[in-house]
Amino acid sequence: MPSELNAYLLSAVMLGALLMCAPGAPVENATTESLAGETSGEEEGKPPNQLAAVLMSILGVTQQHKQEFQKEFVNMGYETDDYKIASLPAVCPRFNFSKEACRHRLVEGLSKYSALLKHVEREYPNSSILSQVKHKVGPLIQLIKEEMRNSEGVTVLTGSQKEQLLKDLNHHDAFHRKMTAHSILEQFHIFLVEGKRALFNKKAKHRRSAIRSTIAPTHLFYTKF
């Protein structure tokens, strides 16, 4: 069956050419993302831009919060859900959400977190995590705005709203205030993780999915052959 054999060989050669042209090859090096990738810093083989660099630098610090919490509360599990603030900024969804919408949400959320971090500073004035990140929130907001098509449409908290937010967090119980501060740091990290994933990782996911769908017939060719 020479003609059938030639057809299979031609299909295999064409498929191999397509795979070599696909961005991100070789395929065997593609791995799924993990939270460790939050601070890895590379997107699709290119050096990170300034926005990514600032975001990664903040995440490199905030990911240390769990260890800091466990040092302070040795006999407690890493659970702060009971002290989570109801009005915390929503994270960027992983699906059906544009990058522009995510940038909009990030700017508004970071504006609110800039106020919430003052509560952390009030409870932990010597926090090493806070000292390294609090001065980077403003520049991060500005960098995100520079990539937006309509940054004027962003609504941020006014000074009086920020003051009221801090007053609402000033619980009479000292332990409650400290746990709220830890909850803010934990949720701040998650907020940035999901923002980074939405802004920088979607194309990589789509690329890997496309490569996998292209590779699938290869096994059929060789199995049938």
- What local confidence, expressed as pLDDT, does residue 222 receive? 30
Tokens, residue 48: 């990170």
Rounded to two decimals, what is the model's pTM? 0.67
For every residue of 38-58, DSSP letters joined together read GGT--BTTB---HHHHHHHHH
Q: Work out the average pLDDT over 124-146.
A: 94
Band (pLDDT 50/70/90 cuts) for residue 193 is very high
Q: Work out the average pLDDT over 170-189.
A: 92
CA 56, CA 125: separation in Å to the nearest integer? 24
Measure the N-to-C terminal CA separation of the chain; round to a whole number of Å.
12
Res. 27: pLDDT tops 70 = no
pLDDT in tens, 81-127: 677 787 889 999 988 889 999 999 999 999 999 999 999 999 999 99
CA 68, CA 18: separation in Å to the nearest integer? 49
The torsion defined by the Cα of 159, 164, 170 and 176, in degrees rounded to 10, comes to -100
